[in-house]
Amino acid sequence: MARTILWRLLYALPIAFGVSLVCFMLVYIAPGDPLQTVLPPDANAEMIEIVKRAYGFDKPLPVQFAQWLWRAAHGDFGLSVATRRPVSLEVGGALANTMVLAVFAVPLSFAVGAGLGTLAGCAPPGRLGRTLDRLVTGTAVMGVSVPNYWLGLVLVIVFAVELSWLPASGMGMGGSDGFSVLRWADLHYLVLPVVTLALVPVGIIARSTRAAVLEVRGQDFVTTLRAKGLTELAVVRHVLKNAAPGMLAVMGLQFGYLMGGSILVEPVFAWPGSGTLLGRAIVNRDVPVLQGAILSLALIFVATNLAVDLLQAAMDPRVRRA
Amino acid sequence: MPDRGGPAQPMLIAAGLRKHFPIPGGGAVRAVDGVSFSVAKGETLGVVGESGCGKSTLARLLLHLVRPDAGELVFDGEAVGAPRGITLKELRRQAQMVFQDSASSLNPRMPARDSVAFGPRVLGRGPAQAAAEADEALRRVGLDPMQFGPRYPHELSGGQKQRVNIARALALQPRLVILDEAVSALDKSVEAQVLSLLARLKRELGLTYVFISHDLAVVRHVSDRVLVMYLGSVAESGPADDVFARPLHPYTRVLLASRLSMDPDRRVEQAPIVGDPPSPANPPSGCRFRTRCPHAEPVCADRVPSPGSWDGHQAACHMVHPGSGHSAAALAA
Amino acid sequence: MNSQTLALPAAAPVRLPPRPGYWGMVGGRLRRDPVTVVFCLLMLAIVLAAVFAPLISPFDPYKESIIFRLKPFGYRGHPLGTDELGRDILARILYGGRSALLMGVGPVVFAGLVGGSLGVLAGYAGGWVGTLVMRTMDVFYAFPSVLLAVAISGAMGGGMLNGMIALALVFIPAVCRVAETATTQVRGLDFVEAARATGAGHLMIVRHHLLGNVLAPVLVYASSLVSVSILLASGLSFLGLGVRPPVPDWGLMLSTLRQAIYVQPWVCAVPGAAIFVTSMCFNLVSDGLRSAMDVRLR
């Protein structure tokens, strides 16, 4: 077990290194002089000097990368071209807001998806089974086909514009700083973005759950459990326990989707998270912010995958050997 | 194909072939560990042993499909891969291999004719000429090229697929054919047909066979000489009739005793061999069979028994070598 | 030469009806799948509408009008209303299909060629070459796809071509993985070993025995990427990357019409519906292709 963890960690390190390298290169694939790319347009001579020294543009690329990595490891991604604030502050605040969405959307999506999938997988064959089957397949296909930002827009049109039940955008009266998940009024602002993000992967999670449940149900030990006279509910419990590691892998992937999905969904709701930050960075051609935000999101994704793998290994003895 | 070395020159000599497959995380599977033998022109050499004894790796080594770690191959007097010897390409033209009929022995996306014609295409024949040669080869194995040439593997029965496999090997007009479990997956009745086809082809085309199988009865039926393998090395070798009538190595005796008998009065009274073979990654010291041998003595753990010369009836067992230190050795002498 | 080559087959071979090969069987199975047939036709209609947009479009998609801005469905011959500059939305939807399809198919074709070749190379060569290629791909695979697309096109600075390059870079690692897995599996099979035993060179083995068997899984996978590509491309345009105004594009239309949801809420949703339907068509056709190509050949 310890060996598995060690191997997995050793594998994640070069990946994280490679991800950092790709993010570092973003400044260099941007058209024009890299110095101009990371400099506010009205920078004075003193500032140019500071930035030049920090990035080491006169040194060879590997040295620049080492310098950049060293600074990034200490949370220094340079200054935002647009606001002149440190990138780390901008990204930090935005990530916190994105996390608020994820904390609600991930469990919601998994609960609904896994529930629906289990139901479809355990339903007796017949009318109900077929209906659930079609429901799961249909939501899965729609989920992978729908542009999530458009789904958000439609939800806004229905619930904010037409019905006026929920606010269309923002984080409430207090904005990002005054937001509290404990305040009833603020929670209203959370509903539409969270539902939008959660809705898309529901079908996929349901479909994989159903497949996992069906596969386990087909195995011999389930027949044995039935033969031993266990109630159907107890059998389902055993089935779920065995299907869990497979479902976990799917959920890990879907978490990645949620991180990426927020990029397009947040701007629709003017939710001041990393997605909106990225959108603004793109409009302002603010490459340092782009770089910082992408690197943070990608590293979170790498870490999530690592955690899922380790969790899977802990749950399923068969995975450990791989 | 010209007979270069003359009738007395063996078709193939293998000397000290060795192949160890490294295991991720250290160690190696000693699939083939110092195997030597020769095949005379026109004879059939049978190779028997349990699954996992290195038979298939040996077959692949003979065509350099797997590169040997050590050892030499001499094909009709010419060393394979040596500066003035026979090239690999030429070896693979003169020596061919028939694989076991498995789900993957034929390309699922290729009609039978194309599979057979691939060899001639490699030799540089044009498409029409290659197809004609393929049809000829199909006809030789008893398949009507008009009917079976355009068929895909999934449209062929096991026996037909195996005939296509044989035709594919024949299309290059080889002199030596290595048959790796070539009939093992077939039904008994189909197996008999394919075996008689192989016998006829050998007669008509003057072929030399290396016939690899785990099935003792079949090997005894087809072979002139046999090689008994255990854990990657040769346990016993000799003329087929001799080996089957008077087995020298305890392992060969065990193998023969474990055959199913058609005679109800000659039922196997007790399991002749106990336990699974040891791991080829970590074979026993000295004689590899000693852990399962009923006659094992301290000397068997200390020294590796010599396999003897390549001719005649030989066994790699201390009991048959006088002066080896084994208590039964004196009796043999 | 011995007697074998002397006997040639009869001069006039009897012509038998051609047997359906693998692709014939796939086609037959596709035709018997009603869902796939329906969505295939719908997909075809979308493609034709985009190609022949100049012929069927009721208006010039660039023609602006100050008076007729943001009008509802069916207003004065504008079946889908008008946008914030008074341009006909139906015309822009028809023309917008062009950039959507181009950005949906282009990057996938490019990634299929490059990623497929890299994957076959990595899988066939194995060893350190394979490891080097695959570990490099793993790095790109570690990004969520939207994130990587936004990062690359964001740094390169928008535009349709940059968007397509970014999308291709997103898909190459994925295709490469599929091709590598398939190649590694096929490479170990007996018929490849038999081909090696004929003395054939690597190129010949790859061409005759590997590609045919690797093509199917790569094709199925690539076809499933088209809808992803359409979604990502419109997403890029929505963020202000990708297609630049005033070129009609569904994602771009959504991002500008979004400002008008209180004026004409449902008109604003139209371009998104176009993306949704198109992406779903490609998705279902790809699913149908996958199950049709899953022919058990044994």
- Tell me if A1 is assigned to some domain: no
- Tell me if A305 is assigned to some domain: no
**Which residues contact residue B99 at a Cβ distance below 8 angstroms, ignoring those fewer than 6 apart?**
B105, B165, B180, B181, B182, C190, C193, C194
Number of structural domains found in chain A? 1
**Which residues contact residue B301 at a Cβ distance below 8 angstroms, ignoring those fewer than 6 apart?**
B284, B285, B286, B287, B290
> For residue C17, what pLDDT is reported?
52
- Tell me if C6 is assigned to some domain: no
Percent of chain C whose pLDDT exceeds 70: 92
**Which residues contact residue A156 at a Cβ distance below 8 angstroms, ignoring those fewer than 6 apart?**
A168, A169, A192, A268, A269, C261
- Tell me if C207 is assigned to some domain: yes
Check C16 against B146: CB less than 8 A apart: yes
Give the ranges where A124-229 is alpha helix by DSSP (H): 127-145, 148-155, 175-178, 184-217, 220-227
pLDDT-derived band at C35 (thresholds 50, 70, 90) equals confident
By CB neighbour count within 10 A (0-12 exposed, 13-18 middle, 19+ buried), where does C111 fall?
buried
Work out whether strand B44-48 and strand B225-230 pair parallel, antiparallel, or are unpaired. parallel
Chain A, nearest residue to C282 by Cα? A145
> Is the pTM higher than 0.90?
no
- Tell me if C262 is assigned to some domain: yes
Q: At what angle do helices C145-156 and A232-269 cross, to 10 degrees?
A: 20
| Interface residues of chain C, partner chain B, Cβ below 8 Å | 2, 4-5, 7-9, 13-14, 16, 18-19, 21-22, 189-191, 193-201, 204, 208-209, 212-213, 296-298
Residue B333 CA from chain centroid, whole number? 32
The pair of structure tokens assigned to A258 is: 């949620």
| Residue given tokens 């994957």 in the structure block | C119
- Tell me if A298 is assigned to some domain: no
Give the count of alpha carbons within 13 A of B76, CB side only. 19
Domain that holds residue C37: 25-60+79-297
Question: For residue C93, which amino acid is it?
Answer: I
Residue by residue, pLDDT tens for chain A (322 residues) are 677 778 888 888 888 899 999 888 888 887 777 777 777 777 777 777 777 777 777 778 888 888 888 888 888 887 787 777 888 888 888 888 888 888 888 889 888 988 888 888 877 777 888 888 888 888 888 888 899 889 988 998 888 777 878 777 776 666 666 666 666 667 778 888 999 998 888 888 888 888 888 877 777 777 787 778 777 777 777 777 777 777 777 777 777 777 778 888 888 888 888 888 888 888 888 888 888 889 988 888 888 888 888 887 777 666 554 4
> For residue C60, what pLDDT is reported?
78
Number of structural domains found in chain C? 1
Domain that holds residue A230: 87-285
By CB neighbour count within 10 A (0-12 exposed, 13-18 middle, 19+ buried), where does C247 fall?
middle
> For residue C44, what pLDDT is reported?
92
Q: Cα separation of A295 and A279, whole Å?
A: 15
> For residue C107, what pLDDT is reported?
94
Question: For residue A262, which amino acid is it?
Answer: S
Question: Does the structural domain B12-230 have CATH classification 3.40.640.10?
Answer: no
pLDDT digits (tens, 9 = 90+) for A170-187: 766 666 666 666 666 677
- Tell me if A218 is assigned to some domain: yes
pLDDT averaged over every residue in chain C: 83
CATH code, domain with C255: 1.10.3720.10
- Tell me if A281 is assigned to some domain: yes
> For residue A173, what pLDDT is reported?
62
Q: Reduced to 3 states, what is the DSSP secondary structure of residue C3? A: helix
Chain C, nearest residue to B175 by Cα? C2
Subunits adjacent to chain B (3 or more Cβ pairs under 8 Å): C
Residue ranges of domains in chain B: 12-230, 253-332
Beta-sheet strand order (sheet of B70-75)? B28-39, B12-22, B70-75, B78-79
pLDDT digits (tens, 9 = 90+) for A1-46: 677 778 888 888 888 899 999 888 888 887 777 777 777 777 777 7
- Tell me if C200 is assigned to some domain: yes
> For residue B272, what pLDDT is reported?
57
Q: C interface mutation test: which of A282, A287, A309 has the most C CBs within 10 A?
A: A282
Q: What number of helices (H) and strands (E) belong to chain C? A: 12, 0
- Tell me if A313 is assigned to some domain: no
pLDDT digits (tens, 9 = 90+) for C166-197: 999 999 999 999 999 999 989 888 899 899 88
- Tell me if C73 is assigned to some domain: no
Is the per-residue pLDDT at C10 higher than 60? Answer: no
Q: What residues in chain B have per-residue pLDDT under 50? A: 333
pLDDT averaged over every residue in chain B: 84
- Tell me if A61 is assigned to some domain: no
pLDDT-derived band at C76 (thresholds 50, 70, 90) equals confident
CATH code, domain with A150: 1.10.3720.10
In C, residues 205-244, which contact A (CB 8 Å cutoff)? Answer: 227-228, 231, 234-235, 238-241
- Tell me if C130 is assigned to some domain: yes
Give the count of alpha carbons within 13 A of A160, CB side only. 21
Interchain CB contact of A145 with C (< 8 Å): yes
Q: Cα separation of C175 and A308, whole Å?
A: 24
> For residue C2, what pLDDT is reported?
46
